[in-house]
Structure 1
Amino acid sequence: MSKLEQFRKQQALREQLANRPLLHVAAAPEDVAALLTKQTDSARLASLDYLSSLSLALQAAPRDAHELLRELDQEFDQVRVDDLLAKAQRDIIGAIAGPLGLGKFLAVYDKQGGNVTTVHNARQDFYANPDEEKYNRDDYDRGLNSQGKKFAGVGEKSVGSTFTRGQLDKEQKLRDGYTGETVKGDQTSPDHIIPLKTYHQNGGFMQSKTQRADFGTDTENLISTQRHINNSMNDDEKLEWLEKKSNGRQVTNEEHYKVDRKLVEKALKRGQETADRHGPSTSEKAAYYTTHAAQTGMTEGLKMGSQQAFGMLMVELFSGALDEIKELYRNGRQSDTILAELGERLKRVGVKVAGRWEQMLHGFSGGFISGFVSNAVTVMINLFVTTGKRAVRMIREGIFSLLKALKTFLFPPEEMTFAQAAHEALKLLAAGGVVIGGVVLEEAAEKLILGVPLFAPFAGVLTAVLVGAATALSMTFVCYLLDKIDLFGAVRAERDKQMIGSLDTRIDAQMTLSMSVIEELDGYLLTTSSPT
C-alpha cells in the first residue's frame, strides 16, 4: 500500500469517527460513556495525523528537525567509516598475501625486458630465452645451411675458403674490398659485411639455426680484406668502426688502415640488401611477437590468476579466524572442551571460506585476463624501451587495477548509478597506484631490514608484512579522501538516499502506529455502541 493510500485510509477512518451520530454513543455502556467524558488529548489526536504532524514539527520545532537530519547524517558517516575500517583489515591481509606476498614470490620469475625478446632488447643484449635466442657465432659460422654447407670448420670445403679462392688471380693475389689494395690471398680472410651479431639482433634471433647459417654462408654478404683489418673490425658495424680510435691510437681506424670509405659504403649497400632478403619480414616479426606473447601470456595469466585466488583465500581464512577470535572474546567458549571449541570454530571458518569459491573463481579469471593483457602490454613497451624486472611487476599490478576499474565503470551492477560507478572506478585506480608505490617501496624497505643483522633472516616476511600493512592503510586513506572530495557526487547521492530511506522508515512506523490506534478505537466503538 502506498503512502497516499495509507493517508487516505487514515483520513477516511477519522471522518467516519467524526461523523458518527452522538445518539449511538449515548446508549453506549458505562465504560464507553466514562471514556467519552474524559478530557480530550489534543496532542494525541494531532499525532494521529501524518501530514499535520510532520508540518507541525517543522514549523514549531525546526531545531528538532535539523537535529534529526544531523543524527541521520552521523549515522551514515559512522556506517561508512565502519565499512572502511573493515575493508582496511581485509586489505592488509590481501596486500600481504597478494601483490606483496605471493606476487613477490612470483616476481622471481620475471625477466628484464619481459618474456618476449624484441629487436630493441636484443640490441641491448637482453634475451627472454638466452639458451635459444642469445647470439652465438657458431650458429652462423659452423652451422649447416639449407644446402648442408658451412661457412667455416671444414677446411677447403668451407664456403669461406671457396669464396677466397674465387677472388685469387694467377699470382694468388686479390683486391682488398675495403682499401682497394692488391694483396696476397693468404694474408686475407672473408669478412661479413653486415656483422653476424648485427643481423642476429635485428631479427636473426627469431629464426632457426638453419636460417641463420643461410645468411652466414651467403657470399653476397662476404668481402675479402686483410686479416688484421678483419680482426680489428670484430663485430663492430662498419661505419662505427671507421670512426673509432682503436688501441689508444690518435687517429681513426679509417686513417690508420687507409680504408676507402666509398668502397665500404658500396659494400654496405650490397650487404644490407642481402640481410633484408634473409631477415624476417615485418609480417614475420609481427607473427613472432603475437605467437610468443600468446604463449607467455598464458603463463603470466596463470601466475596472476593464482595470485588473486590465493590472496582471496588467505583474506577469507584470516578474516574468518579474526572474527572467531572476536566472537570468542565477547561471548566466551561454547563447547565443553578446548578441542571441541577449536574444531567447531575451524569448521565455521572452513564453511565460510568454501562459500566464497565463486568469488575466488572470479578473482582467478580476472587475474588471468590481467596477466595475459599485462604481458602483451609489456611486449609492446619493450619494442621501444627495455623494462626492468620490477617494472614488469608494476605493469602487471597496474593493468590489474586498470581492468578492474574499467569493468566497474563499463559494466556496473544494475543498482549502481553512473556517478557511483565512476567513483568506485576512480578508487580502484587510486588503489592500484598505491600498490605500485608499495612495489617500489618494497625494495628500499627490504634493503633497510637486511641492514639489521637480527632481522636479516626474516627480511622477506617482514617486508611483506610492513609494506603490505602500510600499503593497505594508504589505500584506505586515499579512498577516504576520495569519498570526502566526492568528485562525481556519488557519496552525496548515497547519503541522501539513505537519509530519505531512514525518514521513510520512521514515518512508515508512525503511520502504522496511528492507523492501528484509529482502527482499534473505531472497532471498539462499533462493537460497544448501538442505537436505543
Structure 2
Amino acid sequence: MQPTLTELKEQRLQKLFNDCQQQVIAQIIGPFGLSTAMFEDRNGGNVTTVHNFENAGADYVAEKDQKTYAASREAYDRSKLKDIKQSVKDNLKAPGVDGYTGKQVDPAHLEADHVTALKKIHGTRKNHLAYNTGENLDRLSEVANNTENLVATHREVNNPKRAKDILEFADEVVDGQTQAERLDLDRERMSAAKARSEQYLERTANRAILVKQTGEVLKTGFQQAAQMGLRQALGVLLNELVNGLFNEIKTLIKHGVEQGKTLFDEIRQRLAGVMARVLKKIPDAISQLFQGGLSGFMSNLLTFVLNGFVSTAKRFVTVIREGLIGLFKAFKIILFPPAHLTAEQALQEGLKLLSAVVMSSVGLLLQETVKTFIASVPFLLPVAEILSSALIGTLSGLLSAFIAYQIDCLFDRHGYDERFMDELISGARSGEVFAHGLLELSDSSLRNVGAYNQSIVLYQGIGQAYGSAGRMADATLASLERTVTQTHEQVAKSVATIEYIASSQRDIEDFLGTL
C-alpha cells in the first residue's frame, strides 16, 4: 500500500533529523577536519604556472621556484651571464660574411651579435621559470649564446646596436639617414635572423617548461592522490566510528545498563559492536581510497590548468579539491545508477550530493572570514582555526541536510502526483471501457431498432397480403355462395326433373299395367 502524503512528510522529517547528524559529522571530519590536518593548500596550487609566475605575487609561486621568481625580478647584470665561448666566435667568423649585410668582411673585424639581446632574454620572466635561474644562470646563458641567436657582423653594426632590436635599430635615424642606409643593412637578412632567433628562444623555453611542469604535475598529482585517497578512506571509517559511538551512547542513556551487567561490561560490549561495524566498512574505505586518489590527482591537474589562465587563491584550490570528489560521486550515481536505484532515484541522490558540494564550497570560501572574525577576540585567537572549522562545518552540514530534505520533498510530491495521476488515468481508462460498452450497447440498440423497423415493414407487407387474401377470400366466398345457390337451384330443378321422370315412369307403368 502506497504511503499517504502525510506519512511521507513524517518519514522525511525523521530522515532530516538523522541526516543532520550524518552531514554535520561528515563535514567536520572531512572538508573541515581531515583536510585541514592533511593538506596545506597554497595560492596558485602546487605547480607554478607561467601565468602566475609572470603576473601574480610571490604567494602564487611554489616554494621550489621562489629563488627563480626572485632572480627574474633582479635588475639585469650582464656580468652574471657567461661570456660567449671563443669557439662560438671562431665558428661565426670563419666565413668572413656579415650576417646583416651579406658582404665579405675581414674576419678580424667580425663580432658575434645577440640577435635577441641578453637584456631582453633576461627580462623575459618565462625564461627564468623555464631554466630555473634561481640556482644559476648557466642554462639561460647557454640558450642566449646558442648559434641560433647569434649573427657574425661588423663591429660598426654591433657596437651601436647594443641591446636594441635589430629592426628597430635599422630604422633609427642618424644625421638624416637610417642606420640601414648608413650601414647598408639587408632588411631581408635581418628579418630572417630575428625570426630564427625568436622561434628558437620560444621553442626552447616552451620545451623546458613542458618538461619541468609535466614532472611536477605528475609528482604533486600522485602525492595529492595518495593524501586524498587516505583522507577518504579514513573519513569512511571515522564517520562510522563517530556515528556508532553517538548512537550507542544515546541508546545506553535511553535504556540504561542491561540487568546482570556492570556499566563497564555494557560499555565494552557496545564498543565491540561499534568496532565490528567499523571493520565491515573496510571494503567501502578501500573503494573510497581509489575514488579519492583519482579525484585528488584530477583536482591537482585541474588547479594547474585553471592557473594557466587565472590566479586562484588557496581557498579556491581547496574548493576545487573538495568539490571534485563530490562532483565525481554525484555524476557517477546519476550516469551509472546502482542496480537497487531507478533512474529517478539516482537523480534524486545525485542532486543531494551536488547540493552538499555547493554548501561545502560556500563554507570553505567563508571560513577565512569567520576565522578572521573569531581571531579578533584575543582569548579565542589560539583556537580560531578549530572554532571556524567546527562552526562552518556544522552550518554546512545542517544546510546540506535541509536542502536534501527539500529535494526529497520535491520528489515525494512528484511521486504523489504521479500516483494521483495514475489513479486518474486508471479511472479514465475504466470510464473509457464503460463508455466503449455503452457505445457498443447503443450500436446494438440501434441495430435492434433497425431490425424492428424492418419487422414492422415486413409485418405491414404481411398485413397487406392478409388483406388482399381476405378480400380474395370474400370474393371467393361470395362466388361460392352464388355457386351454392345456383347448385341448389339446379338440384331443385334436377329433383323436380327426377320426380317428373319418376312420375312419368309410374304413369307409363300404370298404363302398361292396364294394357
Partner of 2:27: 95
Alignment correspondent of 1:472: 397
* Contact 1:196-1:216 at 8 Å conserved across structures: no
Instruction: State the match for 1:276 in structure 2.
Output: 202
Amino acid at match of 1:117: T
In the alignment, the residues of structure 2 paired with residue 80 and residue 99 of structure 1 have an alpha-carbon distance, to the nearest angstrom, of 26
Moved more, 75-84 or 220-229: 220-229
The within-5 A match list for 1:250-399 is 269=195, 271-276=197-202, 278-281=204-207, 289-334=213-258, 336-399=261-324
Q: Is the 8 A contact 1:127 1:133 kept in 2?
A: no
Counterpart of 1:121 in structure 2 is 52
2:366 is matched with: 441
Contact 2:51 2:309 in 1 (8 A): yes
Match of 1:417 among 299, 323, 342: 342
Give the whole-Å Cα distance in 2 for the aligned partners of 1:129 and 1:219.
Answer: 34
Contact 1:308 1:367 in 2 (8 A): yes
Tell me by how many angstroms 1:447 deviates: 0.7
**Paired residue secondary structure (1:468):** helix
Residue aligning to 1:195: 121
**2:146 corresponds to which residue?**
218
Distance 1:484 1:202, change over 3 A: farther
Of residues 4, 7, 17, the one that matches 1:85 is 17
Shift of 1:289: 4.7
Across the aligned residues of Structure 1 and Structure 2, the Cα RMSD in angstroms comes to 4.7
Taking a change above 3 Å as real, the CA distance of residues 485 and 201 of structure 1, as seen in their structure-2 partners, is: farther
* Secondary structure, aligned partner of 1:412: coil
Q: Tell me by how many angstroms 1:412 deviates.
A: 1.0
Asked if 1 retains the 8 angstrom alpha-carbon contact of 2:330 and 2:349, the reply is yes
CA contact (8 A) 1:420 1:490 kept: no
Paired residues of 1:192 and 1:221 also in contact (CA < 8 A): no
Q: Hey, what's the Cα distance between the residues in 1 that align with 2:420 and 2:322?
A: 32
Contact 1:419 1:488 in 2 (8 A): no
Measure the CA separation in 2 of the matches of 1:375 and 1:290. Answer: 12
For structure 2, the 5+ residue unaligned runs are: 73-77, 94-108, 423-515
Report the number of matched residues: 379
Report percent identity of matched pairs. 29
**2-side partners of 1:203 and 1:457: how far apart?**
38
SS of the residue corresponding to residue 409 of structure 1 reads: helix
Per-residue deviation, 1:77: 2.2
| 1:134 corresponds to 2:58 | no
| Partner Cα separation in structure 2 for residue 166 and residue 290 of structure 1 | 36
List gaps (5 residues or longer) in structure 1.
Answer: 1-67, 139-150, 169-184, 243-253, 498-532
Higher helix share: 2
Distance, in Å, in 1 between the alignment partners of 2:81 and 2:210 is: 37
> Of the two, which has the highest radius of gyration?
2
1:392 CA drift (Å): 1.0
| Aligned with residue 130 of structure 2, among 204, 227, 231 | 204
- Alpha-carbon contact 1:409-1:425 (below 8 Å) kept: yes
The corresponding residue for 2:8 is 76
Structure 1 residues 273 and 415, CA gap change in structure 2 (3 angstroms): closer
Q: Alignment partner of 1:111: what SS? A: coil
Matched residue type, 1:326: K
Q: Which amino acid aligns with 1:215?
A: V
- Contact 1:199-1:275 at 8 Å conserved across structures: no
Distance in 2, Cα, partners of 1:166 & 1:453: 71
Aligned to 2:377: 452
For residues 478 and 460 of structure 1, what CA distance do their matches in structure 2 show? 27
Distance (whole Å) between structure 2 residues aligned to residue 228 and residue 280 of structure 1: 28
CA-to-aligned-CA distance 1:311-353 (integer Å, 9 cap, x gap) = 2222212111111111111111136433333322222221121
Q: Aligned with 1:414: secondary structure?
A: coil
Whether the aligned pair in 2 keeps the contact of 1:422 and 1:488 (CA below 8 Å) is no
Distance 1:299 1:293, change over 3 A: same
Q: CA deviation at 1:475?
A: 0.3
What is the distance in 2 between the residues matched to 1:464 and 1:495?
Answer: 46
Which is further off, 300-309 or 461-470? 300-309
Which amino acid is 2:408 matched to? D
Q: TM-score, normalised by structure 2?
A: 0.61
